Structure 1
């Protein structure tokens, strides 16, 4: 497989996993969220990623979520399952569940916390590829996994049979660009910022889009990439500036948060919009009253109407 084995492009957010107030998986809320995301014309979604709180989900819950998400696959909406885990055996279990559910592909980080070395990372991804036949995205996320995979390592991973894409969320933009120029002809390359620079790079034909988080601005996110496709730089930059507002007011340059936790921020923003995103699960906690007010103020600043939280 290679980049031509899939047609993924545009905005593909890692979405939240709705839990009820008792911490139970809420599939009714999940359906409501998926219907909203589809109506907002997302190009795809990623299930059970970091935004989806994979770390507090059982293997059985993740498989159930993959099955539920597979029902929303259609032309123009790809559904990808995150298989992040601490061992290759666990990742293979999740990858096979995604494959059996009929998902379009999977996404995997290196094992977090473990800090594996170069040889171990290659062996980890190769083991998952050898055990499945589903297209794979390699996710470089130094903040969560501690290791920052350089271009040489990403190039080695791109040679693995099932690898078709790379999501490169490194804070090293020079490294991001080096990887983009070297690898974009071989694999789909995600992570372009929604800034003027990102728009200009995309208009020059570089990169394939952004695997973002939450999709809380709805159609604004995918429409940035549709404007790029139409060659409308002005419109793309206008939409990108809206995205930069939430990145500036809620997050830090390294993708960390300025308050609360990322999952509660996304779920709160969605619920304020009337989207049934549910609640976070232990060990995470809901936002404080002042933090909720901060989210609401940002949405109002962007002209987005909100409703009282239940």
Structure 2
């Protein structure tokens, strides 16, 4: 398999997993949220990545979340399921499961907490991606794993038979571009392309899309990529400016968030907008209530006004 074997491109939300206030998995909320993403026109969806709080789910819950996502999407857009874990054996087990469920692909970071070397990172991916014949997305997430996949290692991963994509979330724009340049001829590359430099790089060198924690930017990012794909670069620049403003108001350069931890802020923002984000689950805590007004103001400045309940709600 290689990049042309999958139609993965454009704007994908990394979906959160809605929980109820008492910590239960909100299955109806999850299905409603996935349907919302499809209605927004997103080009794919990542389930149980970092934003999905996979680390707080039971093994059974991880399967349930994957089943609901695949069933709700029903083939309308690609669905990639996160299979990150602490050992190759468990990642393989998760990947076999999501393949049986009917997911379009599997994703994993290097094992968190373990601090593997570059040789160990490569050996991990070689083991898991050859064990399960499903399209794989390698996920470089130094903020969450405390290791950074080097450009050289990323290029080696791109040669593995079942690796078809790399998600680069380093926060280092130059390093991301170096990685994309090294791998884009062989695998799909997701990074930060919704800005003038990113668009120029994507069109001139390579790159396929953004995978964005939670999808708040969909009203701007979906038409941005649609315009880029249609060759309407003037329209794309306008949507890109709107997306950049949203990001600057909510996210710091290192991918931390302005008002709470990233997933807590995301779910608070979704609730303000009337979207089915649900609640976080421990060890995460809800955003402090005193930050709600500032977050709502930031969303409004970005062109996402707070939801106004009707009398029937």
Scaled to the shorter chain, the TM-score interval is over 0.9
- Please state whether the residue corresponding to 1:116 is helix, strand or coil: coil
Aligned-partner SS, 2:164 = strand
Are the equivalent residues in 1 in contact too, given 2:183–2:189 (CA < 8 A)? yes
Change (3 A) 1:85 1:12: same
Mapped pair 1:118 → 2:114: no
The alpha-carbon deviation at position 272 of structure 1 amounts to: 1.5
The residue that corresponds to 1:306 in the other structure is 306
Q: What is the CA-CA distance between 1:183 and the residue it aligns to?
A: 1.1
CA drift of 1:213 comes to 1.2
Q: Tell whether 2:40 aligns with 1:40.
A: yes
CA–CA distance in structure 1, aligned partners of residues 206 and 122 of structure 2: 26
In the alignment, what sits opposite 2:270?
A: 270
Equivalent residue number for residue 228 of structure 2: 228
Partner of residue 13, structure 2: 13
User: Does 275-284 or 171-180 show the bigger shift?
Assistant: 171-180
The answer to whether the Cα contact below 8 Å between 2:47 and 2:66 also exists between their aligned partners in 1 is yes
Which blocks of at least 5 consecutive residues in structure 2 are unaligned? none
Distance of 1:75 and 1:196 partners within structure 2: 32
In the TM superposition, what are the counterparts of 1:234-253 in structure 2 within 5 Å? 234-253=234-253
Per-residue CA deviation, residues 57-97 of structure 1 (Å, 9 max, x unaligned), is 11211111111111133565111101111111121121112
| Greater than 4 Å deviation, 4+ residue runs | none
Deviations 1:201-242 (A, max 9, x none): 233362111111111133322211111112222221222222
Equivalent residues, number:
310
Does the Cα contact within 8 Å between 2:121 and 2:149 map onto a contact in 1? no
* TM-superposition CA deviations, 1:255-304 (whole Å, max 9, x none): 12233111111111112221111100011111112222122112211332
> What is the TM-score when the length of structure 2 is the normalising length?
0.94
The equivalent residue for 1:216 is 216
Larger deviation, residues 300-309 vs 216-225: 300-309
Q: Give the whole-Å Cα distance in 1 for the aligned partners of 2:2 and 2:206.
A: 17
CA contact (8 A) 1:192 1:207 kept: no
Kept in 2: contact 1:66–1:97 (CA 8 A):
no
Give 1:139 deviation, angstroms: 0.6
RMSD: 1.7
User: Unpaired runs of 5+ in structure 1?
Assistant: none
Q: Which residue of 2 aligns with 1:257?
A: 257
1:173 offset after TM fit, Å? 2.3
